[in-house]
Structure 1
Amino acid sequence: MVGLDQTVVAVALDPMARGLGLTTFMMHGVVLVYVLALAAFVPVGGMLARRFGRLTTFRAGTAVFAIASGLCALAPTGDAAEPYLVTVRAVQGIGGALMMPVATSVITDVYEEHARGRALAVYAGLAQLFLVLGPIVGAVLTQLLGWRSVFLVNLPVGAACLWMIARARLSNRAEGGPLSVLQPLLVIFSLVTLILGLYQCGVWGFANGKTLTVLAAGLVAMGMAVRLILRSPRPLLDLRLLGIRPYAVAVALTFLVQAPQLIVLVHGTVYLRQAMGLSLLATGISLLPLVAASAAGTFLSGYLLDRSRSVRVPVLLGLTAATVGAAAWTAALPSREYLWQVPGMLLAGAGMGLPVPALSAELMRAVPPAKRADASVLRQSIRQLGGAVGLAVAGAVVLAANENTADAAGVIGVDATFAAFAVASCVLAVTLPLAAIALPPRRARTGGHRSAGRGTGPPSP
């Protein structure tokens, strides 16, 4: 549910905009506010799980997510549509954020030490897979049942989740203790302010005084939040883990990969629907090369990691393919010829699928076993933040490049899509040499990486 809902609405954005009268600004906002809520509230979910118990937090998150999904489907038309959707999508993201840390801590607790990295890699690989499946699932649902079904489908899935977690008989132990209020408030305020400033600069102007003021306020708040967290005996996020160089490198690269991935998934889907005039189902089918290649890359990642015993192989190979593929897809956009886009889709999909599972295994290997749950919460927060930053920057560029009349009608022009893809291509082009410099040249230890590498496939009985 959490992975799909980052991108499942991509195909539904066009019919939503037409039916509810959404502007281009709000089309981006529907996706962006969800990803931002995930990034800001994942550490809060970890804190609540420690205080009230994992299952209590998971059940609350699942209920909030499902109810908010149902409310999204009830979005009214007219002037109330935009504030209503933004609000309930944010609540939906909060529900997802309460679920994610619990899933990680359950994996960490249930699996033995020798299989823990492998299990966490399975989790990361499946999250990656469902992220890219979102537009296809959205296309099928929207074509058959209308755009509101994209949200309604979470009601039975949420009920099934609650039923399964009840049968799993997991412990619900809680550490207790006081809750920190100031830390999460500062983190949430700083992230929301920074992302708002990045996105609004497409409307206000990149050098406008309001833009600079909002960004400065966000940076100051983030500095205060970091200082408070580092000095706290019960930190919201264990930022000291970033002092472990392999872990910090893996998290930073995950952040940089997530940004272009969400950009091409969302804007590529809208381009096929609006610029090429494809039907909803045809849009979903047209995305199959991207999705199939990404799925192949996700599961190939563990094989390459296992065979080479070095995280450099899947990461650098993936980033090279993703950079070339994104550039090729970008160059093909003005032609509006689908066949010219397929090679870029295949390369970009496979390339973006390769790094994340390998990086997940690497960062979990780099931290002490007792810190793996905290390490995963921090990784998830930074990964979601990468997606939010990418969408905000690309959205600002699109708003600046798009025609005013198109903005008002909820239509993204070819030139604006080209600009968004150019942002994604540039991020990948910068990430590739950084990864080549920062990743460790040494070969990984056989035992640690073999167990982690196999984790990108299904666990054996």
Structure 2
Amino acid sequence: MSVSAGSGGRPRNLVLAAMIFAVAMTFIDQTIVSIAVPEIQRELGLSATGVQWAVNAYLMALAALFAFGGRLADTVGHRKMVVLGVLVFAGASAMCGLTPKGSLAEAWIVLFRVVQGAGGAIMFPAALGIVVQTFALRERGRALAVFFGIAGGLTAIGPILGGYLTQWTWRAIFWVNIPVAVVALVLIALAKPVTEHRPAPMDYRGLALIASGVGLSVFGFQQSQIWGWRNPGIGLCIAAGLLLLVAFVLVERRTASPLIKVDIFRIRAFAVENLVLGIAMLVFIPVFFFASEYAQIALGKTASQAGLYLLYFFLGFVVASQLGGRMLDRGGAKRPVTLGCALCAVGFALWAGKVTQLNFNSQIWYVVLAGAGMGFMLSPASTDAVSRASRLSYGEATGITQTVRNYAASLGLAILGTVLVSQFRSRVTASLIARGMPAGQASAEASGISQSQGGTGGTADIPDFIRLDFAYATRAVFYAMAGIMAVAAVVALFGLERGRQEEPEESAVPVPSEREDPR
């Protein structure tokens, strides 16, 4: 079978191009906002935690609603959900660009970042499900390597484009999504992808449980740097969120038509791939936020120069993702996933050792190595996990993997953000005391500086000792990332089995299905 029934006779490459443009906005927004963070913070007067929420609210909404989006795709229709997701995402992007200054700014931008995340959660599982149904299993690794590789390349454009757009106005980083959305809608209309779906009732109880669980647990970690770990509210939020997620699993096992068929985790490879993805995603999205701030605060780079800094990460990522896809098709997921995690760990460790030298040129090859490691593992792990599902559950399987990925990314940003702020505050306090400031005053001053991430003026106004202190705080974060990726490598090495998988069998009980009307 060279082309699945879902291709509808249309050229598969046109379908692939349409889906790449559809999800391009979600990939671009994972990095383009990070580049503009210092400028957004200065113009809108946001705290360090507030601006992290502007990044994290998007990821948290994706994590909370991806399972819902995957279920909608499988039950309502993949193409309908892609189109709806594109429209919601583009509309929310426009509103983010219209964020007013003043007291409403933080609530406004966080709200519409949540709506953006909702649009992405509806769109992405449906788009990936279309690609998976369009290509046969033995061609799927290469197709999804192209999918993730080009999407990753578009993500690489995000920092560069964001840097130049920010020199005009940071608001343009959101408005740029609108022409991308138009191109995506035109390509979808031309490709008219046809896929199979199965009408079923929606599990709103499960949706409420997973959304609340994800939201509360991430909120607890995110607020820890403001309230402090001694505040009982932090522990209560995290505990309540985790309990709700446990309740979600228990309820889903007893629900006739669940949001997520949790029994799919009995498939060892699916469970291990998701565990590896979850561990790796503690690093993958947060690195753009922290590297961008490091480049602009510690190195004194402009936003466009910071974009070029992140481009080196994606040079390694895009090339390695193509190699990883071919390795998946030839011999299965274990080798590229394990190799990728190990390379990424080494890259981050070497990168961390150089950041305090405040010399960009000494870091380049380690940035490339870290990106290459992530490229080797990300596409094969995601592809292999989704391919374990039956044809009628690709959207659901995608929803699960993306829920895991984005929940982990939200936690990673919150936890590593806490590490960054606490380390930065500690070092600035010590530096101020060394310069003769009383301990109490130094602590208060350091708390204010750490929440403004170096100050609210331009980067040229940041004292040299603050730059160095921020670099040391970044080093702690990058070493933590190296350790996280080393854990992922160990899990992949001992958890995954060698060899290629076979085409998954459908349920022994025939299930009525419908094909989307191509008209």
Question: Is the pair's TM-score, using the shorter chain for normalization, greater than 0.5?
Answer: yes
Contact 2:61–2:118 (CA<8 Å) still a contact in 1? yes
Q: Would you say 1:404 and 2:447 are equivalent positions?
A: yes
Summarize the alignment of residues 124-143 of structure 1 with structure 2, pairs less than 5 Å apart. 124-143=148-167
**Map of 2:487 onto structure 1:** 430
Amino acid at match of 2:122: L
Summarize the alignment of residues 367-446 of structure 1 with structure 2, pairs less than 5 Å apart. 367-401=389-423, 402=425, 403-411=446-454, 413-440=470-497, 442-444=498-500
Aligned pair partner of 1:6 in 30, 46, 51: 30
Per the alignment, do residues 129 and 383 of structure 1 end up closer, same or farther by CA in structure 2, a change over 3 Å counting?
farther
**Map of 2:240 onto structure 1:** 217
Contact 1:238–1:378 (CA<8 Å) still a contact in 2? no
Aligned pair partner of 2:286 in 263, 269, 283: 263
**Map of 2:371 onto structure 1:** 349
Deviation at 1:379, TM superposition (A): 1.1
Q: Would you say 1:288 and 2:311 are equivalent positions?
A: yes
Contact 2:93–2:177 (CA<8 Å) still a contact in 1? yes
**Map of 1:54 onto structure 2:** 78
Q: What CA distance in whole angstroms lies between the structure 2 residues aligned with 1:239 and 1:5?
A: 30
Amino acid at match of 2:52: H
Per the alignment, do residues 230 and 265 of structure 1 end up closer, same or farther by CA in structure 2, a change over 3 Å counting?
same
Of 48-57 and 313-322, the range deviating more from structure 2: 48-57
Summarize the alignment of residues 109-120 of structure 1 with structure 2, pairs less than 5 Å apart. 109-112=133-136, 114-116=138-140, 118-120=142-144
Of 57-66 and 359-368, the range deviating more from structure 2: 359-368
Q: What CA distance in whole angstroms lies between the structure 1 residues aligned with 2:449 and 2:298?
A: 12
Per the alignment, do residues 311 and 113 of structure 1 end up closer, same or farther by CA in structure 2, a change over 3 Å counting?
closer
Indicate the SS of the match to 2:35: coil
Deviation at 1:95, TM superposition (A): 0.8
Q: What CA distance in whole angstroms lies between the structure 2 residues aligned with 1:326 and 1:108?
A: 32
Contact 1:203–1:396 (CA<8 Å) still a contact in 2? no
Summarize the alignment of residues 189-204 of structure 1 with structure 2, pairs less than 5 Å apart. 189-204=212-227
Q: What CA distance in whole angstroms lies between the structure 1 residues aligned with 2:488 and 2:71?
A: 32
Amino acid at match of 2:363: Q
Deviation at 1:46, TM superposition (A): 2.5
Deviation at 1:115, TM superposition (A): 3.8
Per the alignment, do residues 327 and 367 of structure 1 end up closer, same or farther by CA in structure 2, a change over 3 Å counting?
same
Contact 1:237–1:374 (CA<8 Å) still a contact in 2? yes
Deviation at 1:132, TM superposition (A): 4.5
How many matched pairs?
Answer: 445
Q: What CA distance in whole angstroms lies between the structure 1 residues aligned with 2:140 and 2:323?
A: 20
Highest CA radius of gyration, 1 or 2? 2
**Map of 2:131 onto structure 1:** 107
Task: Give me the identity figure in percent.
Answer: 31
CA RMSD in angstroms, aligned pairs only: 2.4
Deviation at 1:211, TM superposition (A): 1.2
Indicate the SS of the match to 1:75: coil
Query: After superposition, what is the alpha-carbon deviation per residue over 1:63-84, rounded to whole angstroms, capped at 9, x for unaligned?
Result: 1111110111111112211111
Summarize the alignment of residues 449-460 of structure 1 with structure 2, pairs less than 5 Å apart. none
Q: Which runs of 5+ in 1 are unaligned?
A: 449-461
**Map of 1:302 onto structure 2:** 325
Q: What CA distance in whole angstroms lies between the structure 2 residues aligned with 1:342 and 1:111?
A: 37
Contact 1:261–1:424 (CA<8 Å) still a contact in 2? no
Per the alignment, do residues 177 and 298 of structure 1 end up closer, same or farther by CA in structure 2, a change over 3 Å counting?
closer
Q: What CA distance in whole angstroms lies between the structure 1 residues aligned with 2:192 and 2:251?
A: 37
Contact 1:323–1:425 (CA<8 Å) still a contact in 2? yes
Contact 2:222–2:414 (CA<8 Å) still a contact in 1? yes
**TM-score, normalized by length of structure 1?**
0.89
Q: What CA distance in whole angstroms lies between the structure 1 residues aligned with 2:209 and 2:384?
A: 30
Contact 1:329–1:345 (CA<8 Å) still a contact in 2? yes
Q: What CA distance in whole angstroms lies between the structure 2 residues aligned with 1:47 and 1:166?
A: 23
Q: What CA distance in whole angstroms lies between the structure 2 residues aligned with 1:319 and 1:52?
A: 36
Deviation at 1:251, TM superposition (A): 1.3
Indicate the SS of the match to 1:12: helix
Summarize the alignment of residues 112-191 of structure 1 with structure 2, pairs less than 5 Å apart. 112=136, 114-116=138-140, 118-143=142-167, 145-171=168-194, 175-191=198-214
Query: After superposition, what is the alpha-carbon deviation per residue over 1:242-270, rounded to whole angstroms, capped at 9, x for unaligned?
Result: 11001111111111112212222211111
Contact 1:315–1:354 (CA<8 Å) still a contact in 2? yes
**Map of 1:315 onto structure 2:** 337
Deviation at 1:207, TM superposition (A): 4.5
Indicate the SS of the match to 1:278: coil
**Map of 1:17 onto structure 2:** 41
Q: What CA distance in whole angstroms lies between the structure 2 residues aligned with 1:411 and 1:44?
A: 39
Per the alignment, do residues 147 and 242 of structure 1 end up closer, same or farther by CA in structure 2, a change over 3 Å counting?
same
Contact 1:202–1:400 (CA<8 Å) still a contact in 2? yes
Q: What CA distance in whole angstroms lies between the structure 1 residues aligned with 2:238 and 2:77?
A: 36
Deviation at 1:351, TM superposition (A): 1.0
Contact 2:30–2:155 (CA<8 Å) still a contact in 1? yes
Per the alignment, do residues 240 and 126 of structure 1 end up closer, same or farther by CA in structure 2, a change over 3 Å counting?
farther
Amino acid at match of 2:109: L
Q: What CA distance in whole angstroms lies between the structure 2 residues aligned with 1:386 and 1:419?
A: 19
Q: Which runs of 5+ in 2 are unaligned?
A: 1-24, 426-445, 456-469, 504-519
Q: What CA distance in whole angstroms lies between the structure 1 residues aligned with 2:148 and 2:265?
A: 20
Contact 2:341–2:373 (CA<8 Å) still a contact in 1? yes
Q: What CA distance in whole angstroms lies between the structure 2 residues aligned with 1:428 and 1:155?
A: 35
Contact 2:346–2:370 (CA<8 Å) still a contact in 1? yes
**TM-score, normalized by length of structure 2?**
0.80
Indicate the SS of the match to 2:363: helix
